[in-house]
Amino acid sequence: MKKLALSLAALAVAALPAVSHAQTASATVTASATVQASLTATTTHQLKFGTLAMGASSTLASSGGSQAALSGLATAGLGQVQVSHNSNVTVTATVPAVLTNAVSGNTLGFAANCATASSSGGTGTSVTCASFSFNAATPGTSQSTYVLVGGTVTGSAAAGVGTFTGDIDFTFTASN
């Protein structure tokens, strides 16, 4: 009987499923994509007041009709920057208060005025040069907006003669 009990106990142990300790592992793959706006800016026309008489002042308005004729002149014309973009754009500009004669160091007063247009030399909508923005008509689609730059140079006989210059520096930033 003792043998039978031992045999039954051995059989019961053999019939039980084997207990195993399973091991598991996991890993994660992160998917990512960076979406970048397309943005370029190219100066297509310099702002030229032309030849002025000593002491004379001159104003070129950046907005209004028929800018194409004015921008095409060899002696005077609006400045223009072509901005190619596929998103909204914010703009800042640093505008000098004077134009400086590099030879004499003398200065003429200067104030800029800006506008945006949908075509080169087109009728512009006035904006504040220091900070403005424009929207993409169709986000994701490449398009151009033109920044027209005019201004007023204030003459001074005391400034003498020569060429007076100053840079208007624009920074364009793509935004949503």
Predicted confidence at residue 49, as pLDDT, reads 86
Express as a percent the part of the chain with pLDDT over 90. 57
Mean per-residue pLDDT for 11-37? Answer: 77
Mean per-residue pLDDT for 49-58? Answer: 88
Tell whether the model's pLDDT for residue 5 goes beyond 80.
no
Q: What CA–CA distance (Å, rounded) separates 62 from 149?
A: 5
155 domain-assigned = yes
What would the pLDDT profile of 69-109 be if each residue is shown by its tens digit? Answer: 444 445 577 899 999 999 999 999 999 999 999 999 999 99
Q: What CA–CA distance (Å, rounded) separates 70 from 77?
A: 5
27 domain-assigned = no
pTM of the model: 0.77
19 domain-assigned = no
The residue among 121 and 2 whose pLDDT is bigger is 121
What would the pLDDT profile of 127-150 be if each residue is shown by its tens digit? Answer: 999 999 999 988 889 999 999 999
Please give the residue range of the domain that contains residue 68: 38-175
14 domain-assigned = no
DSSP state of 162: S
Strand partners, 126: 115
Of 70, 95, 62, 82, whose CA–CA distance to 134 is shortest?
82
The pLDDT mean for the chain works out to: 85
20 domain-assigned = no
Of 83, 107, 103, 108, whose CA–CA distance to 93 is shortest?
83
60 domain-assigned = yes
25 domain-assigned = no
160 domain-assigned = yes
CATH code for the domain of 73: 2.60.40
> What is the number of domains present in the chain?
1
